[in-house]
A and B are shown apart, each in its own frame.
Chain A
Amino acid sequence: MAGDAGRGGSSRVKFDRFARRKLVNRIITVLAGLAVIAALYPLVDLVYTALVQGGGVLFQLTFLTARNPTPCSVVSCATVGIGPTIEGSAILVGLASLISVPVGVLAAIFASEYRTRGIGRVVSFTADVLSGVPSILMGAFVYGYLVLEYPNLVESVISGSLALAAIMIPIITRTTEEALRTVPDATREAAIALGIAKWKMSLRIVLISALPGVVTGVLLAVMRAAGEAAPLILLTGFSTNWYTRPDLPVGSLPVLIYTYALQPYSNWHAVAWGATLFLLIAILVVNVLSRYTIQRMVTKMSGGS
């Protein structure tokens, strides 16, 4: 026992250090936990409020198909709906996808598969920069190039979907290019050695091998476009009518939320909440579905059951 005295001293120092380390560890854990709460709180609060405020409206069966309501401040105002707005959003995002998917994917193929002479690198750098540009600037870009030339397109489906496409293209290009990079060179060499032409190899072998990543990128871009308000306020305006012509305004969910939330009519507020909840649920469903299908595609490709 007596021989332990010296060691007792040193182990006391060790004990102090250990206690300090434990304390620091606890502080960091608490801070990290607080950060998680701070990061998640807005999301949880948003979903919760949207559910409380919009749930009642959304779960009336006609909400998704009926016409938008007329201004009304009395509680008994009936028939509210966002049918034309959902249609408008679908058309805008659909058109934007029709433009941006081929352009974005082809640009990515160019950047990844035709890297000679550094042009490919310029493409990927440009896509990187463009995907960080605020969406209102994309709107201003379309305004400057299209609307100033054709003033009757000032509030139209065409200019709105072009702006959404401009937002989607760099996102699709970046994610597709990354997905193409994950395809091993051995696959390319196999195709080259069989005498398969380069464009066929790029489109029908390399791109197909990278498909799960490409689909993820496209869905990411679609969800981003579906939630954009700023360029649409500038370029598409708002309408409560069903779609008729591509050179006229249509409604869209983000613009509806913006417009209705700022008006003093209680039924419009309710509709805005319902639309918010619908947009949230739609994005969630697309997200989950895409993950599920991608997972299945991957297992199918890797030969699993």
Chain B
Amino acid sequence: MESVKLRADHLTAFYGGKPAIQDISLEFPDRKVTAIIGPSGCGKSTLIRCLNRLHETAPRTRVEGKVLLDDEDIYQLDPVRVRRRIGMVFQKPNPFVTMSIYDNVSAAMRFNGRHTREELDHAVVHSLQQSALWEEVKDRVDAPATSLSGGQQQRLCIARALAADPEVLLMDEPCSALDPIATAKIEELVGRLKTDYTVVIVTHNMQQAARVADYTAFLYLGKLIEFGPTEDLFERPKEKLTESYITGRFG
């Protein structure tokens, strides 16, 4: 078994007094894609938002348990530093609307430290290449981010997250606002990203999980029902609930 990059340890998260996820223990292997699936409201998004301490930024929220990044509890570290090591891509593309494509991608570098123009240029080009957007925008990186299509904006957001040089990339239903062609591009991209990053992807699309993920976790009503290699989970589910969900009997 591969080494573990990120580990949730008895993680419970509250949203306004009610637990949204309960006692979840889960291991995310290094440089693999792990999918989190489950019906709406099962706590997938809450779980992924606990992994970079974003959950606690909303009012009336609370987190119990640990999340270990390289065996260090991120809840004992400075949250800003944690988020520089764990990048995130959201459900709806959320580029900074006042900024150009270039400024979006270089945002983390520009805001978080001092870099020369050459370093920024290099990082912008490299990140846009990684997110497969470079060819489409190379002659207009100074155009506003909002001039891009939805799918392009999402790849821009991936490039923006990658330019911060994270170790882990969290993706919260990154394709739910995109058309099938844009979705295919992002999925292809996820497959390539795992050579450099540990990827955690939330999806309510089971086919997507089956296509992109090495491991899959199934959540139901805030609890982890089953976790294992994607193939095993889809073809030989151990739990009855998992089986009914993947065969489409509920959800």
Contacts and interface: CB of A to CB of B under 8 A. Distances in A.
Interface of A: 115-116, 184, 186-187, 189-197, 200-201, 204-205, 208-209, 211, 300-303
A194 B111 contact: yes
**Most chain B CB atoms below 10 A, which of A193, A194, A303:** A193
Nearest to A196: B111
A186 B90 contact: yes
A191 B157 CA distance: 11
Given A186-B92, A209-B98, A302-B97, A193 B52 contact: yes
Given A192-B83, A194-B83, A194-B161, A301 B54 contact: no
B191 interface: no
Nearest to B78: A195
B98 A208 contact: yes
Nearest to A188: B57
A113 B73 CA distance: 28
A193 B88 contact: yes
Interface in B85-138: 85, 87-88, 90, 92, 94-98, 107-108, 111-112
A211 B83 CA distance: 27
Contacts of B98: 205, 208-209, 211, 301
B57 A190 contact: no
A43 B84 CA distance: 57
B108 A194 contact: yes
Given A186-B90, A195-B112, 15 more contacts: A186-B94, A187-B97, A189-B57, A191-B107, A192-B54, A194-B107, A194-B161, A195-B81, A195-B84, A195-B85, A196-B111, A197-B80, A205-B96, A209-B97, A303-B143
Report, nearest first, the 7 A-B pairs whose CB atoms are least far apart.
A195-B84, A303-B146, A195-B83, A193-B88, A186-B94, A303-B144, A303-B147
Contacts of B85: 195
Contact of A190 (B84, B90, B143, B144): B90
B108 A196 contact: yes
